Amino acid sequence: MPDTNQLFTLDRLDPQVVALHEGMQAQGLVSADPLAMPLHEARAAAERSHVFLNRNAPAIRTEEIEAAGPAGPLRLRLYRPPGGEGRPLPALVYFHGGGFVVNSVDTHDRLLRLLAVRSGAVVVAVAYGRAPEHRFPHQHDEALAALRWVARHGTSHGLDSGRIAVGGDSAGANLALGAALAARAPGEPRVSFGFLFYGMFAHDFHTPSHRRFGDGRYGLTTARMRWYWGQYLGHGETTRDPRAAPLLADLSGLPPLLLLAAGLDCLRDDSLRLAERLAAADVPYDLTVYESLPHSFASMTRLVEAADGAVTRAALAVRRHLGT
């Protein structure tokens, strides 16, 4: 395992990511590693780090909603783009990353605001239950419940329930893809588009990207991914359930998808393999690998131009597909 103080100093990494990490270190911020600290401390570290990352976010109106979930109330936060008053706006249902274990709607606040402003859609951010307090299929069921809320109750909150996109990063990309798959069933809300940042799509740690980047030299480790999956799935025989591992699902009938992968990421090949399966299923997709960026780059928009450009690309794709 490389020295954690040297994780972000390798030549292949975008220099702005190196500078960002150095700035965080200068402020005494540490990585949220649940393998190196108790879980409550890792969650607190993630929240503190994202306060730094979220500075200077656009000031837009938000609304807190309590919706009916599969096992109790489900908290949603609506981010409204400017200039949309007086007419129904499309909805982008977004699921944050964090291995199903850490992070929150708050850690992703800047990203969510940017997506709303740049897409022209209302971002419906889902505060799903985290593992290990809640385990699969709880999160999958809450993701589908969020879509159903938009379809059934969105109009009373200024949403156009006929124009819905999904998005997510890492574990959230897993939930976004799983929700889009579930939404193909008769009577479920229609999803028109989806974008997926560096998703974790299968319980597989033997890909070339895990072998190449799983030691943590660019941040995320294979060991941490194994632990996240364990917290999410528990000890049941669920590793091949397509609701948990959507890479294994029948992908036919999905809406167009935009895949945005990190080149320096042990999860890179999850996106590459998903692209291959989408092509085989005749699902329209677009794949971009950001070769000099690590996992979690969508949270680095304040200081990393390439990350900001990737978020803009996702937002403009939403705008194009939802007609905003």
Question: Which residues are the active-site residues?
Answer: 170, 265, 295
Length of the chain: 324
The whole-angstrom separation of Cα 222 and Cα 11 is: 21
Is residue 118 within 8 Å of residue 315, measured between CB atoms? yes
What six digits make up the tokens of 195?
Answer: 């974008």
Token pair 């999860």 is found at 267
Give 26-45 as a DSSP string.
HTT-----TTTS-HHHHHHH
Query: CB neighbours of 289 closer than 8 A, spacing ≥ 6?
Result: 261, 262, 263, 268, 271, 272
Q: Classify each residue of 181-214 as buried b or exposed e, where b means 16 or more C-beta atoms within 10 Å of its C-beta.
A: bbbeeeeebebbbbbbbbbbbbbbeebebbeebb
In what helix (H) or strand (E) does residue 152 lie, and over which residues does it extend?
A: helix 138-153
Task: Quote the CA–CA distance of 214 and 113 in Å, as a whole number.
Answer: 31
Distances (CA, A) of 160 to 85, 89, 157, 289: 13, 5, 9, 32
What single-letter DSSP state applies at residue 256?
P
The closest of 153, 133, 136 to 93, measured between CA atoms, is: 153
DSSP 121: S
Give the separation between CA 319 and CA 324, rounded to whole angstroms.
Answer: 5
